[in-house]
Structure 1
């Protein structure tokens, strides 16, 4: 177990260690949003539809969500660094395959499946390594601030960068760009240490892996099917819920028998962590939902091309970057609950501005104030939400909680795109307001969860992993 720094002390990890971790989060977030501005180009080039491209985007996010929990467990068995590097390699192959895709099927194979699998393998190690290498809250806030800033920039700047590349060269070049970045990260990651040894003999709950993945897949498929067949959608949603219930009952049975399940049910005994997970889920749902709705609206309804859409999204990127880079300063001055609540207030306010300003005028820059406010709000709360969850557990549980945390966040991304896309498919010109109102309502639910967080869960004196503030079950 790593030592915990004394109160007020900070631990500095060399930039050559933090940089590849932050860049990995950037490229994965970029992949989840840059295709939003390529909708028309890809659909025309591959002779498919906007809904087909939306399906590819959603499958990518869904694969990540479904595999994050199993991948978090794999880090214990094979080591965090190895999983990180293997994930990068798989991702790179998927990006190159996507770049030469002759049709939607190959694009789904490369982008949705291989890049999704690669992301699921490499993201849990990013958060586990960061938590272990930064033992005190202030330095961890700085590290997570850098990582979440890069992730937020990747998601918010994805439309701009993707638009520039698509307009200047081709949408295929955007995937080559991803492969090049991944290659650079692979080279830099050779110097990243793994503070804990791998455990080759660690048990693997194969049945739990299958059940958790199947349950999440069925849930998102149900949402995607709402517009086409209400009965089928209801059946898929019900089946997904039942499979997840089966998964949790199986986990409890294994624990009762003295065996180790894929996901320890004790992780859900921590009220602070549970609320933090809800805020993470809602944050990414709103981010990806707003990004998809705004991008589709600007292209399909307003007729803007990829570069014009990307430029407008710069407002969100600037807002998110400015607030994310202030994560360390915010963590010193304000309680994490305060930051999360303020973030949701700003984000919901930004969505309201998008409705009021952008929906009533053809001026493309009418969307800028709302996108900027959404970016600021998300940047303010992304880091404290991650910090609250990761800091609620000791080192031995970091693999599980990191996988669960990333799965919850990526499920939010999947649902954000699926919900927004389902509403828009009926008719983008008329469904824009309905989609934004739905996202605002979900944002308010996240605000409530943030307000319920205990005030003592934030500040420089918050517990770090490994401190003696948790009981046997992980309760604070």
Structure 2
């Protein structure tokens, strides 16, 4: 089955994959389930749609900003220890969010504590998977299960969140997260850590601060687009400058023989770089579409949480179909081919959402587009992860996993920030125009991802 150090490979595979896949599921669920609670949360906490959007984006941004340091900490403290510490912190944040009396406490619990917890627990998911499963087919099977659960968490988040919110309360959606976290903590007791921690490994604090600050400034600038163009440009420029300082710091430390937060070797592999672009745009599309459609249905069409969530079932079904076929597809088709096909199908789905929804009052108008988007994303999530992780050896898995998850979660936060800003800016005055413009922006992002996929080597060398 491709596992190492186990007498019963099949059983070990299930023991390892179940908690890791569930961890990816709940973190992806947290990134999208609040989309259907926009009206309920804003009424209960006396805030606005934009306030809830800010909470969602901060959660995604904290993950993206801290994922690289989180991946690096696994080398020093161990992958399993970081995984379980992140789970515990996430659970505390979920319970605090469930009891939030106002937006500030919700941001503290959901956006900050859950975001930090996710940044600690997600890199070990991908590091352990890479280390414990060898070979393209075995890794495709493992990453297929994890990506499927992650995609289902993001796609089914609106449905599950809608069911809980409509039947009970939006607060119990956070209690649900805490219960799943408790189950993962129990299941993860027997997950092996094949590499011992190295407490002597240096941690680049300056690099961690610079990388996090740069990412936060860039995404904050995008979120400020509907307030002031100059503020947006200033924040993005400042973020770019801080990130430039980060890379110069990395280069200086490598020249001095010190271990930086990230090795520059990660950026010299063309295949991995292109794979990171595809990862970023895939999650940008998934979370961007989720926010835009959810906001349009609730604010413009007046749908409640459950009706909004049910509509997303089409995306969940499509994503499940293609994700669960990842192992079989990996044996028959090159990873580049799967990524290319996924983008083509996803862009077609966005086109369907543009062509069929605007001007149509029918709820079924969303179904074909969402199904195609789920199908396309499910087909390419696994090969994109495999392309990146398999480009490097065991010694760089901590760093590349942190970078990979940071890039993916940056895509998630950009999806909510960019598409969300476009639709929120004019959702009350010109709702269909704002919806159409947001979808066009997402289509352009899809074309960028398609271009990166087309540049991938036709037959990349095995790791």
Q: If the length of structure 1 is used for normalisation, what is the TM-score?
A: 0.94
Q: Secondary structure at the match of 2:225?
A: coil
Cα separation, 2, equivalents of 1:206 and 1:413: 25
Q: In the alignment, is the contact (CA less than 8 A) between 1:323 and 1:379 conserved in 2?
A: yes
The equivalent residue for 2:247 is 248
Shift of 1:4: 9.4
Shift of 1:360: 2.1
Q: For residues 264-343 of structure 1, what are the structure 2 equivalents within 5 Å?
A: 264-343=263-342
How many residues were matched structurally?
455
Q: In the alignment, is the contact (CA less than 8 A) between 2:89 and 2:117 conserved in 1?
A: yes
The equivalent residue for 1:433 is 436
The equivalent residue for 2:454 is 451
Listed one character per residue, the Cα deviations across residues 157-179 of structure 1 (whole Å, up to 9, x for unaligned) are 00000000000000000000000
The equivalent residue for 1:31 is 30
Q: In the alignment, is the contact (CA less than 8 A) between 1:164 and 1:306 conserved in 2?
A: yes
The equivalent residue for 1:442 is 445
Shift of 1:97: 0.1
| 5+ residue gaps, structure 2 | none
Q: If the length of structure 2 is used for normalisation, what is the TM-score?
A: 0.97
Shift of 1:3: 10
Cα separation, 2, equivalents of 1:243 and 1:103: 33
Q: For residues 189-228 of structure 1, what are the structure 2 equivalents within 5 Å?
A: 189-228=188-227
The equivalent residue for 1:393 is 392
Cα distance change of structure 1 residues 227 and 43 upon mapping to structure 2, 3 Å threshold: same
Shift of 1:224: 0.5
| 5+ residue gaps, structure 1 | 6-10, 465-476
Q: For residues 352-367 of structure 1, what are the structure 2 equivalents within 5 Å?
A: 352-367=351-366
Q: Secondary structure at the match of 2:260?
A: coil
Q: In the alignment, is the contact (CA less than 8 A) between 2:3 and 2:13 conserved in 1?
A: no
Cα separation, 1, equivalents of 2:17 and 2:272: 25
Cα separation, 1, equivalents of 2:116 and 2:364: 37
Shift of 1:14: 2.7
Cα separation, 2, equivalents of 1:321 and 1:425: 30
Q: For residues 118-157 of structure 1, what are the structure 2 equivalents within 5 Å?
A: 118-157=117-156
Cα separation, 1, equivalents of 2:255 and 2:395: 20
Shift of 1:286: 0.5
Shift of 1:217: 0.3
Q: In the alignment, is the contact (CA less than 8 A) between 1:4 and 1:136 conserved in 2?
A: no
Shift of 1:414: 0.4
